[in-house]
């Protein structure tokens, strides 16, 4: 198996820039736009040409207005953007020949694993395609997500204040059951398993 470990995003794209430039098919999965920041071309139609570009993100990316606007522009110029509520592996697949897997962010830098083994590429591509099939097109997901996005800042403020659900619900003009359901939806969008983790994730995204 041929693999390479690269220890910064700058080093990764210095090493693979020619592959991105020549690729005719690019598939990308990420929690948010920060993981593959250097891989984001400016959303101008002439940059894409005959390339097939697919990008899949977690719902939390839509809570950040600049990120959501960027995805809408990508969608407008022909990039196929989908939103997945499920946990996804942060991955880039180039021409079904090369796979890049993102590691954890440590000390402000990420470690990336680059594979060109046919078996690894096939396995990762299979996982990506399975997630892609059940993900929702951006425009359709945004229609369902609009109410939660509008309510998210107030929900995050309520969670940060530490007040009881009954108090928070009353302040937001919601029933307690509705408030708890909205909090659960927000946690799912942020990929959080607890309210504390939701707050941490919101800070990472710059939402609070």
* Model pLDDT for residues 64-88, shown as the tens digit of each residue: 888 899 999 999 999 999 999 888 8
DSSP class of 38? G
Domain 3-134 = CATH 3.40.50.1820: no
Domain 141-204 = CATH 3.90.1300.10: no
Tell me the average pLDDT across 176-198.
Answer: 88
Instruction: Calculate the average pLDDT of the chain.
Output: 86
CB-based contact 176:152 (threshold 8 Å) = no
- What is the reported pTM? 0.76
Confidence at residue 42, expressed as pLDDT on a 0 to 100 scale: 44
| CB burial of residue 72 (10 Å; 0-12, 13-18, 19+) | middle
Residue 160, number of CB atoms within 10 A of its CB: 14
Domain residue ranges of the chain, discontinuous segments joined by +: 3-134, 141-204
5-38 pLDDT, tens digit per residue, is 888 888 888 888 889 889 999 999 998 887 786 5
Which range (110-114, 119-123, 202-206) has the least confidence? 202-206
Cα(3)–Cα(185) distance, rounded to whole angstroms?
A: 38
CB-based contact 138:72 (threshold 8 Å) = yes
């Amino acid at each position: 198996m041929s693999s390479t470990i690269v220890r910064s995003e700058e080093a990764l794209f210095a090493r693979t820039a020619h592959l991105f430039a020549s690729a005719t098919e690019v598939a990308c999965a990420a929690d948010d736009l920060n993981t593959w920041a250097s891989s984001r071309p400016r959303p101008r139609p002439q940059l894409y040409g005959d390339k097939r570009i697919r990008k899949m993100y977690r719902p939390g990316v839509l809570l950040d207005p600049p990120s959501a606007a960027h995805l809408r522009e990508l969608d407008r110029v022909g990039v196929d953007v989908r939103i997945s509520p499920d946990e996804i592996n942060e991955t880039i697949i180039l021409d079904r020949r090369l796979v890049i897997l993102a590691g954890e962010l440590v000390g402000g830098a990420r470690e990336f694993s680059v594979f060109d083994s046919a078996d690894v590429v096939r396995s990762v591509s299979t996982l990506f395609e399975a997630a892609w099939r059940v993900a929702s097109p951006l425009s359709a997901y945004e229609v369902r997500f609009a109410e939660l996005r509008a309510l998210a800042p107030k929900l995050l403020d309520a969670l940060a204040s530490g007040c009881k659900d009954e108090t928070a619900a009353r302040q937001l003009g919601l029933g307690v059951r509705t408030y708890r359901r909205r909090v659960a939806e927000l946690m799912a969008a942020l990929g959080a398993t607890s309210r504390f983790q939701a707050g941490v994730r919101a800070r990472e995204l710059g939402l609070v």
